[in-house]
């Protein structure tokens, strides 16, 4: 069997990994096409005038986030193919053969994903145009498609594809066979090396200080960037908590409170691992959401920019939550051997479900709680000073909470399906 045919066959067998990776590329392509088309809509540009500069800058930022989402997804996709690649290497394939293998698989997904992304962007475009036209009280072609937008989208996606190809081609060079075969066989999170290890209390204090500082900031309609800066300072503490603070807290709870509670004992161990593996994504979503909240507050009285900001806010939430759920689903799929061992030790299906539910609730609870705590206080302060309506604040919070809750439910249902299929012999 030829290398290309074998690569495509294996891609088909790993349909779940392939599906989510392909879906991430579809979303990325749709967003890039949609925002390029917005930037080249002359009807909107003529109405906004000089304000279009900010809109274009925001659009470019959203497209960068979309491209980053595709890169993250590619990384997740590769990380769960280590054993497959390792076995392929042991069968006689050299580094060049492995590179071709990965490139063929990636191109097959990209060729299918990008046209579908363009189609979704084309179908979504009238919705964005209608929202913007209505907010500006203007009329225009809802199905406006810019030739320049198509060209720029193609160039951007080709550049993205080239970057992913280089990454995939070099993957085999960066990992030896033992690394590939044993990468997924550990539940221990890798702690980043650091020359300076701060006391845990420093991270807790740094993460909590912004909550006090928020109430000390002189509030005005143009002071939102102060909240953003303070939030970014708090991010240092949050980062430290993800790396060391929360894992140590969970270990403490395991040792002192859960020795006789088998569900929580195992659940805290799995949760510590899940947080460590998704820490980077959680930090990104915190920064992105707080940035968008600050922009929403700053421009909430400006219809020319607020509409795009609100739409971008929804797009960012969608991209980030999708990226997180993809990461979590991919990571959960590697827990099959652990749950199979627990099952053999006498844990019944009900026990295994409780462990999975505990882990999922803990992870998404953290993803919900930390950003909501920050943005909730900021919004409360602006409401208190009469600079923001309760309705807008509630909508902003719900726009974040509802998707996270939904993807949490999806994750849990997928977790059960994958694990029980594994136990029952589906692996």
At residue 385 the predicted structure's pLDDT band, cuts being 50, 70 and 90, is confident
With a CB cutoff of 8 Å and minimum separation 6, the contacts of 175 are 82, 85, 183
Residue 120: per-residue pLDDT: 92
| pLDDT of 59 | 83
| pLDDT at position 423 over 80 | yes
Average pLDDT over residues 301-326: 82
Of 423, 262, 222, 235, the closest CA to residue 358 belongs to: 262
For CA atoms 189, 193, 199, 203, give the dihedral sign.
negative
Contact partners, residue 255, CB within 8 Å, separation at least 6: none
Would you give the DSSP letter of residue 91? T
186: pLDDT confidence band, cut at 50, 70 and 90? very low
Can you give the pTM of this predicted structure? 0.78
Mean pLDDT score of the chain: 79
pLDDT, position 409: 92
Residue with tokens 């769960």: 80
Closest CA to 371 of 278, 314, 311, 293: 293
Query: What count of other Cβ atoms lies within 10 Å of the Cβ of residue 115?
Result: 12
What pLDDT, in 10s, does the model give residues 159-183? 888 887 777 767 666 655 545 555 4
Which range has highest mean pLDDT (146-155, 282-291, 303-312)? 146-155
The DSSP letter of residue 191 is P
Two tokens, residue 86: 């390792």
Contacts of 116 (CB under 8 A, 6+ apart): 26, 29
Q: Which two tokens stand for residue 36?
A: 């390029």
How far is residue 291's CA from residue 276's CA, in Å, rounded to a whole number?
Answer: 24
In the chain, the percentage of residues whose pLDDT exceeds 70 is 82
């Amino acid at each position: 069997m030829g290398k290309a045919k074998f690569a495509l066959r294996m891609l088909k067998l790993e349909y779940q990994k392939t599906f989510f990776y392909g879906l991430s590329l579809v979303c990325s392509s749709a967003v890039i096409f949609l925002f390029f088309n917005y930037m080249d809509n002359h009807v909107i540009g003529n109405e906004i005038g000089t304000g279009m500069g900010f809109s274009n800058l925001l659009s470019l930022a959203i497209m960068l986030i979309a491209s980053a989402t595709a890169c993250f997804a590619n990384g997740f996709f590769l990380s769960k193919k280590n054993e497959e690649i390792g076995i392929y290497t042991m069968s006689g394939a050299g580094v060049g053969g492995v590179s071709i293998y990965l490139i063929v698989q990636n191109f097959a997904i990209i060729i299918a994903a990008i046209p579908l992304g363009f189609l979704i962007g084309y179908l979504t475009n009238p919705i964005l145009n209608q929202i913007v036209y209505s907010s500006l009280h203007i009329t225009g072609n809802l199905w406006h498609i810019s030739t320049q937008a198509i060209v720029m989208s193609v160039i951007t996606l080709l550049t993205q594809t080239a970057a992913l190809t280089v990454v995939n081609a070099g993957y085999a060079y960066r990992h030896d066979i033992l690394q590939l075969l044993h990468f997924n066989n550990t539940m221990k999170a890798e702690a980043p090396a650091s020359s300076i290890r701060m006391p845990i209390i420093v991270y807790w204090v740094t993460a909590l200080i912004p909550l006090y500082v928020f109430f000390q900031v002189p509030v005005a309609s143009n002071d939102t960037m102060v909240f953003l800066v303070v939030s970014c300072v708090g991010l240092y503490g949050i980062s430290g908590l993800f790396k060391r603070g929360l894992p140590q807290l969970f270990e403490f709870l395991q040792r002192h409170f859960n020795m006789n509670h088998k569900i929580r004992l195992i659940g805290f161990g799995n949760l510590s691992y899940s947080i460590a593996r998704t820490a980077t994504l959680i930090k990104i979503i915190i920064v992105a959401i707080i940035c968008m909240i600050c922009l929403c507050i700053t421009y909430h009285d400006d219809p020319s920019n607020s509409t795009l900001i609100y739409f971008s806010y929804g797009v960012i939430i969608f991209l980030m939550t999708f990226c997180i759920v993809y990461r979590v689903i991919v990571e959960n799929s590697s827990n099959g051997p652990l749950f199979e061992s627990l099952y053999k030790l006498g844990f019944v299906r009900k026990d295994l479900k409780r462990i999975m539910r505990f882990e999922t609730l803990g992870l998404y609870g953290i993803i919900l709680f930390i950003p909501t705590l920050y943005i909730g206080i900021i919004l409360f302060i602006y409401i208190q000073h009469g600079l923001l309506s309760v309705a807008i604040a509630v909508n902003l919070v719900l726009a974040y909470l509802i998707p996270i809750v939904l993807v949490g439910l999806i994750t849990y249902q997928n977790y059960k399906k994958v694990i029980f299929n594994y136990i029952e012999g589906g692996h």
